[in-house]
Amino acid sequence: MVKILVTDGMDKGAVKSLKELGYDVTEQFFNPDELKKQVQKFDVIIVRSATKVRKEIIDSALETGKLKLIIRGGVGVDNIDVAYAESKGIKVRNTPKASSQSVAELVLGHMFSLARFVGIANVSMREGKWHKKQYKGIELEGKTLGIVGFGRIGQVLAKKAQALGMNILYTDILGANKDFPDYEYVSFDKLIEESDFISLHVPKNKDDSPLINKEKLAKMKDGICLINCARGGVVDEKALLDALNSGKVAGAGIDVYCEEPTCNLELVKHEKVSATPHIGASTKEAQKRIGQEIITIIKENF
């Protein structure tokens, strides 16, 4: 019987379906030291973002040779040493289609929050304050949204933002996408210089250097709003905090952090920040889609 370890939670309906299909499913989180021992017992390990499957975990699994498949329930695989695993004959798969709608909608949620002070106004109202005059916002219609990384999530976001009357610029390492002639492809530098809102949808740089640093922030428009629902480390958090304090950045929507759970309370408590705890894919619909994709992957491999 194929044994499956689910470490970071999974849609209950999908777990039930796997069991009904005859798979032996264990749902439990293990710290890294314990995971090194437990991984030797399983054919498949399913993780989200909390569990890190690094070289030492993979080496431990190789001692029994049982582990054949690692599945990331989500898009990014930064928390898995993919090349090393696959060089040892262990397949790595993810679920890239499942969370596009959810992440794109969260980006829009942050944009509305920043444009209309939804988050901070909610907090101040609960404190008994009536800051009507202080919270004069802006409209999204007519503003330019720059999308950095034009994969599935970027494409969904562009469609939704265009429906709100926004102008869309995008940049991508693959170049212009001929399937989307309504949106303007530009260089990265042109995008950061001309956008009113910027949304990031890229992985971390391989050398862990931030894509958005002090120099890149300086090139942006005064009053820019920056959204990061991609990966922690894509933005230099100290440089962003300095730009928020100086007024260069009018607002930041942040769902991902250099360290998670984040200890950077100065950033997340900033009055110009709309902060969420890495919940881009945390919708009922997305988790069901992720579960179904995982079932398909497992059935294709066993």
The string of DSSP codes covering 164-181 is TT-EEEEE-TT---TT-T
In the residue annotation, 131 being an active-site residue is answered as no
Facing residues of 228 across strands? 200, 254
Instruction: Name the residue type at position 18.
Output: L
Helix (H, G, I), strand (E, B) or coil at 300: helix
CB 88 within 8 A of CB 58: yes
CB 41 within 8 A of CB 3: yes
As a whole number of angstroms, the distance between CA 149 and CA 188 comes to 10
Give ∠ CA 188-194-196 in degrees, rounded to 5: 110
As a whole number of angstroms, the distance between CA 185 and CA 246 comes to 30
As a whole number of angstroms, the distance between CA 295 and CA 212 comes to 37
Among candidate residues 72, 231, 270, 289, the one labeled active-site is 231
Counting other chains too, the contacts that 76-81 makes at CB distance below 8 Å and 24 or more residues apart are 76/49, 76/203, 76/230, 76/231, 78/203, 78/204, 78/231, 79/47, 79/49, 79/51, 79/52, 79/53, 80/47, 80/52, 80/53, 80/54, 81/53, 81/54, 81/55
As a whole number of angstroms, the distance between CA 167 and CA 195 comes to 9
Among candidate residues 72, 93, 270, 278, the one labeled active-site is 278
CB 270 within 8 A of CB 251: no
Give ∠ CA 208-49-171 in degrees, rounded to 5: 50
Among candidate residues 259, 260, 271, 285, the one labeled active-site is 259
In the residue annotation, 259 being an active-site residue is answered as yes
In the residue annotation, 93 being an active-site residue is answered as no
Which residues are marked as active site? 231, 259, 278
